[in-house]
Amino acid sequence: MAAVNSNIERNLGEQPIARLMQEHGLKAHDLVTASTEQITHKMVARACKGRRLTLNTQSKVLRALNSATGKSYALADLFNY
């Protein structure tokens, strides 16, 4: 079993994506259905709550949000880490 680096903060507080989704009146389900990739409600919930996500997961959530809103947000607009 690999050693876990306990210095990495994983819970980073509510992220800007939560505010953007609220502004557009979107729920996690809206992003899941708008996505052409395999994303889950749990991924979206973790993104909003500030759980540290992999770059791949962040990108999937970003593409789903852009698809649902018709806008072109960048990762920096959604996450502050």
Residue pLDDT tens, the chain, 81 long: 555 556 667 778 899 999 999 999 999 999 999 999 999 999 999 999 999 999 999 999 999 999 999 999 999 999 998
SS percent in the chain: helix, strand, coil, step 5: 55, 0, 45
pLDDT of residue 1: 52
What is the spatial distance between Cα 47 and Cα 63, in angstroms, rounded to a whole number? 13
pLDDT of residue 4: 58
pLDDT of residue 11: 79
Q: For the CA atoms of 11, 16, 18, 22, what is the dihedral angle to 10 degrees?
A: 160
